[in-house]
Every structure is written in structure tokens, then in C-alpha cells.
Structure 1
Amino acid sequence: MKIGILQTGPVPEDLVEAHGHYPDMFVRMLAPFGFDFQTWAVLDGEFPDTIHEADGWLITGSRFGVYEDHAFLPPLRDMIRDIFDASIPLVGICFGHQIIAQALGGHVEKYTGGWSVGPKRYTFPDGDKVIHAYHQDQVITPPEGAQTIASNDFCAHAGLYYPGKAFSVQPHPEFNDAYERALLETRGPGVVPDERLDEAGAALGTPLDSADIAAMIARFFRERTIE
């Protein structure tokens, strides 16, 4: 099965050598499941010729906001709607989670509660899972027909399931502790409040359930269900 990765943001240049680009992180995360991968850097205007160039699609995270004015966003929203209408399985992470919701009629904004960073606990239907977070924007109102399947006190719609069509999560199962630490230390200061950076740094090393989310993603790609 071929998974098309739609890259919507860059890893900070000084972190690429140690951690790779975002598509590299997803390839590593999903490697145990035997998929083939191809990446399109949509942030640079590189789009597939048709939505049928892959058997499933994954939209990465990004430092951009889905409500900002970037040339790649309108065609990406159109592509999302086309994929959804064609019932080709679609997965979104962080920015990907947000733009799928926005493209289908939901509302995303910069959350008044500020930033969520570091390992965070989310309630899923099969129990609580700890996954790395790094975001301020979030889905405030999901689209019609979307089911909220993950949440916590900070992020009410941290996971959305569109039965048989799409699955998305706000946190980052593709982030390991080393990359999260690098973001906290190099990109957090002066942007994320010091108290939250300190809390996140102290929580690094908490056992993560990212492998559970990877398995959910793989199951959705193959079976169109997360159960």
C-alpha cells in the first residue's frame, strides 16, 4: 500500500541533520507496517497530479496556521475535499488535523489558553494515551459528521474520526523525546511561556503511547476504521 505524505512545513534547518524532515519521522514511525511512501512538498507548491497517485494520504504538521495566507493552502483544501469525497483514507497530524477540519467546514483558531507542549495525556475510547504536543492553534468546532475520539482539559477535540474517510490527531506521535527537547530548547524560549517550557522539559522521559497511535493510523489506512 502506497502512502502519500503531504509535507506542509519544514523542520527547523538547524535540526534537520539530527532528526530529518517531517516525512522522515512518519516513515520511521510507520516502518513496521510495511507501507511504501512518497512525499510531495506541498508547502513549496509540489502537488500530485491526481489524488489517485497514492492509496492513502497523510498531512504533516507545520509551523503555519491554517487561517494564514499561504499560496499552498487553497489547493490543499481542495485536495482534502477531493480525497474525502473519493473515500481515499486520509490522516492528519497537528496542522494536518486542523486543515482537514477547516476544509470540511470546521473552525480552527489560536487558542486563548495558549500553548500545549511536552508529553500530554489524552483520553481515547480505549483508554488514556500520552503523546507529545507542540501547538497553540486547535480545532474549536469540528465539521459536521466528525466524531471527537480524543480530548483532554486543554484540547477538547484532540482527535477526530470521520467514519470510513479520515482520522486525525492534534498531538505528534511522530515526535520522540530528542526532537521535542530540541524544539523546547531552540524554538520555545521567548515564544512559549517559561513556566510551560519548564513543565514540559521536566516531563520528558514520561513513557509515550505513540506506537498505539501509529497502529491506529496503520489500521485506518488498511481497514478504514480505528477500532
Structure 2
Amino acid sequence: MKIGILQTGHAPDNLRPDLGDYDDMFRKLLHDQGFTFETWNVVDMEFPGDVTDADGWLITGSKHGAYEDHPWIAPLEAFIRDAIEHAVPVVGICFGHQIVAQALGGKVVKFPGGWAVGRQDYDFGGAHLPLNAWHQDQVITPPEGARTIASNDFCAHAALVYGDRALTIQPHPEFGPDFIEGLIHTRGKGVVPQELLDKAESTLDQPLASDIIADQIADFLRKERSA
């Protein structure tokens, strides 16, 4: 099964040589699931020719906001709607979670409650799963037909499922502690409150449930669905 990675941003320049770009992190997360991958850098206006160019689509995180005025936002939203209409499964992570919701009529905002960074606990239907996060933007109003499947006190809609067409998750199962540590010392300084950065750094050695989420993503992508 071929998964097309729609890359909506790039990892910081000084972290990329050692830790890879966002698509590399997803290839590593899903390395044992039997998929092949191809990346399109939509952030650089590189789009697939058709939604059938892959068997499923994975939309990465980004430093950009879904509500910002970038030339690639509208075409990406149209691509998402087209993929869903044609029953080609879509998975979105962080920005990907937000842009799918926005493309389908939901609302994304810069959350007035501030930032979530580092290890956070999420309630996935009674299963409490710790995952890394790095975001201020949130989906505050899911689209009609979306079902919230994970939340916590900070993020009411931390994961959404759209029937058998799309699965989206606000936290980052692909971010390991090394990358979070790198973000703390690059993108975090002077942007995220220092106490949040300190707390994130203090939990870098604690376990994560990334493998559980990787299995859920893979199972969703492989699910049989009718056109």
C-alpha cells in the first residue's frame, strides 16, 4: 500500500541533518507496517496530480496556521475534500488535523489558553495515552459528521474520525524526545512560556504511546472501504 505524505512544513534547519524532516519521522513511525511512501512538499506548492496517486494520504504538521493566507492552503483543502469524496483515506497530524477540519467546515483558532508542548496525556475512549505535542492552534468546532475520539482538559478535540474517510490527531506520535528537546531550544525559546518548556524538558525520559497510535493509523489506512 502506497502512502502519500503531504508535507506542509519543514523541520528546523539545524535539526534536520540529524533528526530528519517531517516525512522522515513518519516513515520511521510506520516503518514496520508494510507501506511504501512518496512525499509531496505541498508547502512548496508541490502537489500530486490526482488523489489516486497514492492509496492513502498523510498530512504532516507545520509551523503555519491553517487559517493563514498561504497560496498552498486552498489547493490543499480542495485536495482533502476530493480525497474524502473518492474514499481515499486521509490521516492528519497536528496541522494536518486542523486543515482537514477546516476544509470540511470546522473552525480552527489560535487557542487563547496558550500552548501544549512536550508529553501530554490524552483520553482515547478510556485509554490514557501519553503523546508529545507542540501546538497553540486548535480545532474548537469540529465539522458536521466528525466524531471526537480523544481529548484532555486542554484540548477538547484532540482526535477526530470522519467515518471511514479520515482520521486526524492533534498531538505528534512521530515526535520523539530528541526532536522535542531540539524544538525546546530552537522554536520554543522566546515564543513558548519558559515554565512550559521547563516542564516539557523534565519529562523527556518518560514513556510515550507512539507505537499504539502508529498501529491505529496503519489499521485505519488499511481498512476496507466502499467508494
If the length of structure 1 is used for normalisation, what is the TM-score? 0.98
Contact 1:117-1:196 within 8 A present in 2 as well: yes
Residues 48-99 of structure 1: CA deviation (Å, up to 9, x unaligned): 1111000000000000000001000000000000001111110000000000
Contact 1:30-1:218 within 8 A present in 2 as well: yes
CA distance in 2 between counterparts of 1:146 and 1:168 reads 10
Match of 1:200 in 2: 200
Q: Number of residues paired by the alignment?
A: 225
Residues 106-164 of structure 1: CA deviation (Å, up to 9, x unaligned): 00000000000010000002501000000000100000000000000000000001111
Match of 2:28 in 1: 28
Identity of aligned residues (%): 56
> Partner of 2:180: helix, strand, or coil?
helix
Residues 20-68 of structure 1: CA deviation (Å, up to 9, x unaligned): 0100000010011010000000001100111100000000000000000
CA root-mean-square deviation: 0.9
CA distance in 1 between counterparts of 2:3 and 2:189 reads 35
**Is 1:4–2:12 an aligned residue pair?**
no
CA distance in 2 between counterparts of 1:224 and 1:195 reads 45
Match runs of 1:72-87 below 5 Å: 72-87=72-87
> Are the structure 2 counterparts of residues 139 and 224 from structure 1 closer, same or farther at C-alpha, using a change threshold of 3 Å?
farther
Match of 2:170 in 1: 170
Contact 1:67-1:108 within 8 A present in 2 as well: yes
CA distance in 1 between counterparts of 2:190 and 2:111 reads 18
CA distance in 2 between counterparts of 1:154 and 1:173 reads 18
Moved segments of 4+, more than 2 Å: none
Match runs of 1:146-185 below 5 Å: 146-185=146-185
Letter in 2 for 1:118: G
Letter in 1 for 2:205: G
Match of 1:220 in 2: 220
CA distance in 1 between counterparts of 2:186 and 2:39 reads 26
If the length of structure 2 is used for normalisation, what is the TM-score? 0.98
